[in-house]
Chain A
Amino acid sequence: MPDSHLSHAAHGLSLLPPPFTRWFADRGWQPRAHQMELLARANTGESLLLIAPTGAGKTLAGFLPALTDLTHRGKIPPGSAFTGVHTLYISPLKALAVDIERNLMKPVSEMGLPITVETRTGDTPQSKRQRQRLNPPDILLTTPEQVALLIANGEAPRFFKDLKYVIFDELHSLVTSKRGHLLSLGLARLRQLAPGLKTIGLSATVAEPIDLRRWLVAQTPEAEHHAGLVTAPGGAKPVITILRSEARVPWSGHQAKYAMPEVYEAIKAHKTALLFVNTRSQAEILFQELWNINEDTLPIALHHGSLDVGQRRKVEQAMAENRLRAVVATSTLDLGIDWGDVDLVIHVGAPKGASRLAQRIGRANHRMDEPSRAILVPANRFEVMECQAALDANYLGAQDTPPVGDGALDVLAQHVLGMACAAPFDEDALFAEIISASPYAGLPREKFARIVQFVATGGYALKTYERYARIRKTADGLWRVSNPGVAQQYRLNLGTIVEMPMLNVRMVKRGAKGAVGRGGASLGKVEEYFLEMLAPGDTFLFSGKVLRFEGIRENECLVSQAFSLDPKVPAYAGGKFPLSTYLADQVRAMLDDPERWSALPDQVRDWLALQRDVSALPKRDELLIETFPRGSRHYMVAYPFEGRLAHQTLGMLLTRRLERAGRRPLGFVATDYSLAIWALDDLGYSFAIERPSLSNLFDEDMLGDDLEAWLDESFMLKRTFRNCAVIAGLIEQRHPGKEKTGRQVTVSADLIYDVLRSHEPDHILLEATRNDAAAGLLDIQRLGDMLMRIKGHITHRRLDRISPLAVPIMLEIGKETVAGEAQDSLLAEAAEDLIAEAMGDTNI
């Protein structure tokens, strides 16, 4: 511990009751400075945010104020009046809550503290939950969903009346999602129930601690309020290298197959390696590639969100017991569960964000004093630059976590119904409570009124559902639920994590269908929409195996072992992260500054130099556009470096404009770095004679009408709508065993979306959907910033052939379906087929 912290710590020691000082002393430990600072400041009544790296004793620090307070209080004598829960600990993961219980019970029992600690998650049996309501533990470890359930209960005031502390673990990952929005509303209610409560947020390093500090305390219309900040010193700097391979770095692609021998050697040279990738399909492919060369049959496992829970638990167990040499994983392993002795993190593909990289590297080595080791494996040449930028950023301590964002309206609707279930509410009082939650601080009163109407009757202009209202305003001016069934429905649909319709994947004998043998192993779950495009006999990669699709029976997707190593349908994409704004800027800066190229491998340097000679390299704040003919088509490639989502949106909008200008665009493809559009007309010539001019083509007004028009017909919006509709309680989450049967008794979200769009385009739920899409899927904010930045800074190079920088994206053409309007373009294409067939078959 650095000397400067000693005095602080020594002062803090007097705050610790004797059992604590003895416990520390017996182990030859000393409380860390940030632990004591947090305790001292919490004791003065401050709410606090603790920012600390992994391994810094964050959890103990978070619990110290509660543990010492409870120790002072002592055991509650039997026969005393009802005592409510003292401390809530809220974690994003069930597993984490269970993990913490183990870690917390150890010191509590070793010190002999008179404190009861229990968990409450979705897995907690009903009888135990009942008992907890009657006789709450001092410390309750739980999840955001359970908090929502507890506060929607009529007994909430009694249960929470003695609440002193609410501890939020992994706060940085909680707050940026709808889950965080719901939790912020829950916290606002807890503050009503226990006005003196203090919050303690635990977080990894983030870009904007101020957002988290606001989140932790009540806001008022007059001013912003912040929790105090405690920062723990960072540990040893991680040692990060970029993998240098003998092999040629590919121009495009995401698999990094070229580097497999080196990756395998690295695994062999370490005790346990974690291999991170960005998508599930990448995880599947990497896993397969490693086993192809696994001559020593090292125990290498696979872990991603679609795999069967049982299988995942087995991997986790083996990992905890140090029986594995490597695990290939996606973001499911990002959060802070302890994972045995990982001594190396290998990141395959670019990390896409400096903060994500820092998080993942933190998985290796939980001891503060030793550096974590990590190897970055870029999959293509642009990724080499991106990895270099991320590496620089990690040393610089740069952070690029996403912003907290405005509170979602669908979440608000869910919460309003929950509050009606708890007790009749006064609309103005509830509004005041809601705007004390920082994500909703800017919510207009009028919008809140529309949400209340939505909860009551669906909020339609056509008032035909008054008699079916779920909540009603009664003579006393309070809103209350119409019948007990409403509360039951609310509890069933609570939460903000909407599952895509998924089918279980089950292994059967080849050719098995119908009544033939069921008994095979369950491999996990796959999204229904993916299966819709498979025909029996098609092969695809899942769970580390090439599988043959046999068919769908009831709620199961039947597959058999395929005898090929080459799946026919490659894409089973899980989550994809776009390149962060920060890294994008760093990559642009690197391109613009040949001095920095010295860090790059020779082949990448040569590539950039060649590009500079035959075309140009984009300056940091300009947009480079190249046009060239190839085959019978004319191409335009733009290099905005704004991430795939923003580029897809841009591609969609640009093709619409080119279409209108009569330039006959045929398609486009987007990567994280660039965008290519191809057309029948000579685009270079068109831009040269300004039909249209590039400045008009890239004018910001495309984000107005064009965007609206496209959004409305985009299938992405439908998917977003489905989530909003489920969260807002318009349609029910599908529960196992209640799936669609042959008789159509359910109603699809797509249909509801179409009905609403054509009959009530201003409906509040469509507004919620557009907000979501603009923020997440489409990256419109980012696109808007980019269009503004490049105004008057567009450089056009008319080339007679493809440039070196354009090669990567040109290789993507044909590999990727045209995203965004895939559905629509497909319709057109299938229609052509259909017409041809209809014409050819005249006797129908």
Chain B
Amino acid sequence: MQRLALASMDIQDFGAVSARTVVAGVEAVCDPLGALYLPETRLLVVSDLHLEKGAAFARRGMLLPPYDTLATLKVLEAVIVRHDPAIVVSLGDNFHDRVGSAHLPEIFRAKIAELARGREWIWINGNHDPDGTVDLPGQSADELHYAGLAFRHEPSLLSPAGEIAGHLHPAATVIRREKAVRRPCFATDGKRLLMPAFGLMTGGLDLRHKAMAGLFDRPNLIAHMLGRDRIYSVRFSNLRG
């Protein structure tokens, strides 16, 4: 919601409080806009952009608002301006469906080209868009191994060490006095990190959901929740007050 509000404003320099974390010995910064930045390698990770989600639904007869791509790209621009990364990794489900990138309206294509100028851009394939992208800058891949970390869309059950993954759209719920707040979050136990969904018209899946079972060492699991202009870091065991 707060990111949506940003998306409808002019891009400016937002003051924001990020949270530092360490994944498999690599230092990383959780940005409240939903991106992960690795200062050492100047690498920026975003996951689950789900671009053209509205259009994907419209193709099936549900005429959702056509503003999601525009809004997501605006926030992406803000986070790229903030960190000026050398490499951008988009961690899969970049588009909501297979034909999304082929049907992408020209203005959005131009915007992505502008954002990618002077940087390396890697599109990791996701389950929604397994065939890669059409006519966009950068290259497509199923996985990326770089700087001691493994970047892939779906978390693997075998090797947690140093894995940065997306796919599950993690969200955490804080409960205090019988009331609940739910926010998208980065979830990490120090070995693996799950990225929040960056797309502005995406839902979230609670960390307690069975799809998350077995991915984390729960005593060490921390949810870095996205706040308006800061990250709130809460231990898994403290989510319910």
Which residues of A pack against B, CB within 8 Å?
Answer: 457-458, 460, 462, 464-465, 468, 470, 485-486, 489, 532-533, 535, 569, 730-732, 740, 742-744, 746-748, 751-752, 754-756, 758-760, 763, 817, 822-823, 826-827, 829-831, 833-835, 837-838, 841, 844
A751 touches B225 (CB 8 A): no
Contact of A844 among B173, B179, B233 (CB under 8 A): B233
Contacts A747-B53, A830-B181; is A742 near B65 (CB within 8 Å)? no
Residues of A within 8 A of B67 (CB): 460, 462, 755-756, 758-760
Q: Bits for B55-72, please: 1 = Cβ < 8 Å to A, else 0.
A: 101110111111110110
CB <8 Å contact, B61 and A470:
yes
A465 to B202, CA, bound (A): 20
Which chain B residues border A763 with CB–CB below 8 Å? 65
Residues of A contacting B202 with CB < 8 Å?
Answer: 744, 751
Pair B181/A759 contact, Cβ less than 8 Å: no
CB-CB under 8 A for A826 and B63, given A458-B58, A837-B238: no
CB neighbours of B19 from chain A (8 A): 838, 844
Q: Is the CB of A465 within 8 A of B63?
A: yes
Q: Are B176 and A829 touching (Cβ within 8 A)?
A: yes
Complex contact A460–B5 (CB within 8 A): no
Contacts of A460 in B (CB 8 A): 63, 65-67
Residues in chain A near residue B238, CB distance under 8 A: 837
Q: Provide a sorted-by-A list of 20 A–B residue pairs whose CB atoms are within 8 angstroms.
A: A468-B58, A468-B59, A468-B61, A533-B175, A569-B178, A742-B168, A744-B197, A744-B202, A744-B205, A754-B1, A754-B4, A756-B65, A756-B67, A758-B7, A822-B179, A833-B174, A833-B176, A834-B174, A837-B233, A844-B222
Contact of B71 among A486, A742, A758, A834 (CB under 8 A): A758
Contacts of B152 in A (CB 8 A): none
Q: Contact between B62 and A732 (Cβ–Cβ < 8 Å)?
A: yes
Nearest-neighbour CB distance to chain B for A757, whole angstroms, equals 8
Contact for B61 among A489, A532, A740, A838, CB less than 8 A: A489
Give bound CA distance, A747 to B202, whole Å. Answer: 7
Task: Digitize B159-201: 1 where CB-to-A-CB distance is under 8 Å, 0 elsewhere.
Answer: 0000000001100011111111110000000000000010011
B53, B169, B222, B232: which contacts A834 (Cβ < 8 A)? Answer: B232
Contact across chains for B64 and A731 when beta carbons are under 8 A apart: yes
CA distance A344 to B222 in the complex (A): 59
Give 14 A-B pairs besides A747-B64, A758-B8, A759-B71 with Cβ atoms closer than 8 angstroms: A458-B63, A458-B64, A462-B67, A464-B66, A468-B59, A533-B179, A535-B240, A732-B62, A744-B202, A751-B201, A758-B67, A829-B177, A834-B233, A844-B19
**Contact between A831 and B227, CB atoms less than 8 A apart:** yes
Query: Is B235 in contact with chain A by the CB < 8 A criterion?
Result: yes
Asked whether A730 lies within 8 Å of B71 as measured between CB atoms, the reply is no
Q: How far is the CA of A535 from the CA of B239 in the complex (A)?
A: 11
Counting from the closest, the 5 A-B pairs by CB-CB distance are A458-B63, A742-B211, A834-B232, A758-B8, A759-B67
How distant is the Cα of A327 from the Cα of B106 in the complex, in angstroms? 65
Out of A462, A742, A827, which one reaches B66, CB within 8 Å?
A462
CB distance from A684 to the nearest CB of B (A): 30
Which A residues are in CB contact (< 8 Å) with B68? 755
Q: In whole angstroms, what is the CA distance A841 to B20 when docked?
A: 13
Residues of A contacting B169 in the complex (Cβ-Cβ under 8 angstroms):
744
A538 to B, closest residue via Cβ:
B178
- Measured CB to CB, the closest approach of chain A to B21, in angstroms, equals 7
**Contact partners of B209 in chain A: CB under 8 A:** 742
Give the A-B contact count at a CB cut-off of 8 A.
140
Given contacts A817-B179, A822-B179, A826-B176, contact A834 B63 (CB under 8 A): no
A817 to B176, CA, bound (A): 12
Given the known inter-chain contacts A533-B178, A830-B181, A834-B225, please indicate yes or no for A748 contacting B63, CB distance below 8 A.
no
Contact indicator B179/A464 (Cβ below 8 Å):
no
- Is there an interface contact between A752 and B65, defined as CB atoms closer than 8 Å? yes
CA distance A468 to B54 in the complex (A): 11
Nearest CB on A from B206, distance (A): 9
Is residue B118 within 8 Å, beta carbon to beta carbon, of the partner chain? no
Kindly list chain B residues whose C-beta atoms are within 8 Å of the C-beta of A835. 232
The distance from the CB of A40 to the nearest CB of chain B, in whole angstroms, is: 51
Asked if A752 contacts B227 (CB within 8 A), the reply is no
Smallest Cβ-Cβ distance to B211: which chain A residue: A742
B141 is an interface residue with CB less than 8 A from chain A: no
- Judged by a CB distance under 8 angstroms, whether B148 is at the interface is no
Q: Which of chain A's residues has its CB closest to B68's CB? A: A755
**B39 beta carbon closer than 8 Å to chain A:** no
Bound Cα distance A742, B200 (Å) = 18
Among B66, B180, B200, contact of A458 (Cβ-Cβ < 8 Å): B66
> Measured between C-beta atoms, what is the minimum distance from A816 to chain B in Å?
12
Q: Which residues of B contact A743 (CB under 8 A)?
A: 127
User: Known contacts being A535-B175, A826-B179, is A834 close to B234, with CB within 8 Å?
Assistant: yes
A457-B63 CB under 8 A given contacts A744-B203, A830-B174, A833-B176: yes
For residue B25, CB closer than 8 A to chain A, the reply is no
Contact with A along B12-48 (1 / 0, CB 8 A): 0000000101000000000000000000000000000
With A742-B209, A830-B181, A844-B19 in contact, do A759 and B55 touch (Cβ < 8 Å)? no
Docked Cα-Cα span, A838 to B235, in Å, equals 10
- Residue B241 at the chain A interface, CB threshold 8 Å: yes
User: Complex Cα distance A742/B213, Å?
Assistant: 12
Residues of chain A lying within 8 A (CB to CB) of residue B180: 532-533, 826
**Pair A758/B58 contact, Cβ less than 8 Å:** no
By beta carbon, the residue of chain A nearest B59 is A468
- Report B89-136 residues with CB < 8 Å from chain A CB: 105, 127
Closest to A731 in B: B62
Which of B62, B127, B179, B232 is in CB contact (< 8 Å) with A838?
A: B232
CA distance A679 to B233 in the complex (A): 31
Q: How far is the CA of A470 from the CA of B177 in the complex (A)?
A: 46
- Shortest A764–chain B CB gap in Å is 12
B65 touching A831, Cβ below 8 Å: no
- B55 closest partner in A (C-beta): A464
Q: How far is the CB of A551 from chain B (nearest CB, A)?
A: 9
Contact yes or no, A730 B62, CB < 8 A: yes
Q: How far is the CA of A71 from the CA of B232 in the complex (A)?
A: 77
As a 0/1 sequence over residues 225 to 237 of chain B, the CB contacts with chain A under 8 angstroms (1 = contact) are 1010000111100
A844 to B238, alpha carbons, bound, how many Å? 14
Q: How far is B180's CA from A829's CA once the two chains are assembled, in angstroms?
A: 10
Contacts of A731 in B (CB 8 A): 62, 64
Nearest CB of B to A479, in Å: 15
B233 and A838: CB pair below 8 A? yes
Pair B63/A468 contact, Cβ less than 8 Å: yes
**In the assembly, what is the distance between CA of A532 and CA of B172, in Å?**
12
- Closest A residue to B212 by CB, please name it: A742
| Residue of B173, B211, B232 with most chain A CB atoms under a 10 A cut-off | B232
If A460-B66, A465-B58 touch, whether A752 touches B175 (CB-CB below 8 Å) is: no
- Of residues 135 to 166 in B, which have CB atoms within 8 Å of A's CB atoms? none
Nearest residue, chain B, Cβ from A822:
B179
Nearest A residue to B179 via CB reads A826
Cα(A699)–Cα(B112), bound, Å: 50
Of A464, A747, A760, A827, chain B has the most CB atoms within 10 Å of the CB of A747
